Amino acid sequence: MGFLAGFLLLAILFAYTFWPEKITFTQQANTRLDFLRERRDMVYSNLRDLNFEHRAGKYPAEDYAAQRDMLEAEAATIVTEIDVLERV
């Protein structure tokens, strides 16, 4: 009797664990605006990291200025494109 109850409990737990759900996961397609927002956040994060590392003495002034200018230019381009897409 105990063996039958254990087997029944095991079967119920197995069915509960592996039974397919009726609600399937659907992934939302990212739009160009979503991509730009993610990229903007990444560039801002890189700027923060660059500033921190420069203050810590890991970057010489010339390299810091070149990297900062490049990242700021990219951020400006991204923000401009985001503004254009949000107006539409």
Q: What is the pLDDT of residues 26-57, one digit of tens each?
A: 667 789 999 999 999 999 999 999 999 999 99
Domain assignment present for 22: no
Q: What is the per-residue pLDDT for 24?
A: 67
Q: Which residues, other chains included, contact 47 with Cβ-Cβ below 8 Å and sequence gap of 6+?
A: 68, 71, 72, 75
Q: Give how many domains the chain has, as a whole number.
A: 1
Domain assignment present for 16: no
Domain assignment present for 77: yes
Domain assignment present for 79: yes
Between CA 60 and CA 51 the distance in angstroms is 12
DSSP letter (8 states) at residue 22: S
Q: What is the per-residue pLDDT for 25?
A: 67
Quick: pLDDT tens for 55-88: 999 989 999 999 999 999 999 999 999 999 999 7
- The range of the structural domain enclosing residue 41 comes to 27-87
